[in-house]
Amino acid sequence: MLAVLLRRKALSLWNSMGALTAYEWVRNGAFCTVGFWMLAGLHFGFRRLLLHIQAVQVIGPLLVWKLTGMALLTTFSMVVLSSLIISLTTLFYSFDLRFLMNAPLSSKTVFVEKSIETTFFSSWMILLVLAPYMLALGRLRGLGLGFYAGFAAMLVPFALLAAAAGMAFTLALMYLFPSSRTRDAIWLLSSCSMGLVYVALRLSEPEKLARPDMMQVVAEYLNYLQTPTAPYLPSGWMTRALEALSGRNLGPAFWKPFLSLWGAAAAAYAGLLALAGRTYAAGYSGAQESARRRRDQTVRLSFEQRLAARLGRFGLTLGRWRLCAVLMWKDRQAFVRDVRYWSQLVLILALACVYLFSIQRLPLDTADLKNLVAFLNLGIAGFVISSLGLRFTFPSISMEGRAFWILRSAPIDVSALMRSKLLFTLLPMLLLSSVLVLLSNHLLRADRFISCLSFVTILTMTVTLCGMGVGFGAVFPQFNIPNIHQLESSAGGFVYMASALFYIGLTIAFEAWPVQMHFRERFGHARPWDLFGLALCGASVVILNVAAFGLPWWLGRRNLERFEE
């Protein structure tokens, strides 16, 4: 029966490819081309890094294999964390489980098919990023196809062991706590774990690996390099086997870790099947239930409605604000009830910590260099805001889903809907961007002109990027998409990110002229400021922001208004 289930997957994939239109083939081809060049860029960067490390006298080869062990350990950890999230969805909440569980199939057979699916989806992207590194390592050492064949042969047990750890934890948790609330706990726990691993990896300062002078004693540094990284984990076994392959040593130095990897994978999967035989059916049954909650039936004015009433006292149009307040209350309730948003907030916090830590660790000696970096930091901050906009702002229209017709049948203008989406995401975005830029300027000790310019610019960029996100989300809505992450990687998401990056680059280019005048003043030039140039740059920035905000907004509003027809 397992062969039938796997054949079903293959036929489903084949039929999906056969149903693609010409536009979808071109779009997917374009995305594959971009992905290929991204992997080629990673390979080029890894090769340059390994060449630099290999050139270090005496300890170069030790550095290379220490870095390889750290890369494999990080990959193993990321697959474990990824399987925690994906196994929960695949094993207990997949849309086809209602059919499979009612079919004449044993629960163990269904679990085997779903475990294969979980292993693939939790590891393919992470292992794909690891491939350019291994290709660069093979080219550095002058290795042939045997090295790559050995690496490919060890990928299967390596990925299976990592995924089995996540699946075993999910099975035990869903069996002991059979409730849909457990799903929320796993989402939050996995996101916290990913955030801690990300922060811990950056705080460990891996750049010190190529700086032996950072160690107090040379012998201590050599001892650190010779010590295996996590020797009792699958990543350590794989590192030792690859090191033996690179030396063309096919004796016990290779076969012992190779067989240990396959043997541990077979034992882990056998134990996982035994655990699934006892817990999977009961866990799946409990996952379909929901906990009862007592709710207060008293109807009270929301915070947004009270705020709208206060704004109306200042002469603002109360009806417009009251409508936006109701829509924002709806979005806030959906945000609070969906734990996936909370997990994203944990990752955003980890990203902000790493961002500020990296700013603090920059080797900058002069005040002028710090001011220059503080200005160029606008590009990185803008990229962070646009990336968050791709996750939160751009999908906000499509998140209405199949209930969008309720809003269109209600006495609600499309502009009011778009304004509520903008305001709901704009306020936290403004807070985050302000904190990032203000703290970055403080850590860099930027002067008053650069600090004021960067602060005003990041506020303006945040407003424009949020408007672009809502506008492009309305231009490319997908209300029937099963997974919101597919929307982020769609053609509309690509257009939004490309437009956002182009806008950020133009903004920095326009403001580079006034910054150049400021540096000329710091260097003591006689007439550093050009008033005509300042006026031209200011007008260019204003026109750019009006166009970047207004054009997607206008196109999106027209598209949603025609969507009813």
**Token pair 């990041």: residue:** 458
Distance CA 354, CA 378 (A): 16
CB atoms within 10 A of CB 274: 11
Distance CA 499, CA 373 (A): 24
Closest CA to 389 of 466, 336, 458: 466
Q: Tokens in use for 89?
A: 């969805």
Closest CA to 399 of 469, 464, 322: 469
Do the Cβ atoms of 9 and 90 come closer than 8 Å? no
pTM over 0.75: no
Distance CA 215, CA 222 (A): 10
Q: How do residues 368-394 score in pLDDT, each as one tens digit? A: 778 888 888 888 888 888 888 887 788
pLDDT value of position 114: 85
Under-50 pLDDT residues of the chain: 210, 212, 214-222, 224-226, 292, 315, 318, 565
Q: How do residues 194-250 score in pLDDT, each as one tens digit? A: 556 555 555 555 555 545 454 444 444 445 444 555 567 788 888 888 888 877 777
DSSP code, position 231: T
Q: Which residues of 341-360 are buried (b: 16+ CB within 10 A; e: fewer)?
A: eebbebebebbeebbbeebe
What is the chain's length? Answer: 565
Residues whose CB falls within 8 Å of the CB of residue 92, separated by 6 or more in sequence, listed in order: 170, 174, 183, 283, 284, 287
Distance CA 92, CA 281 (A): 10
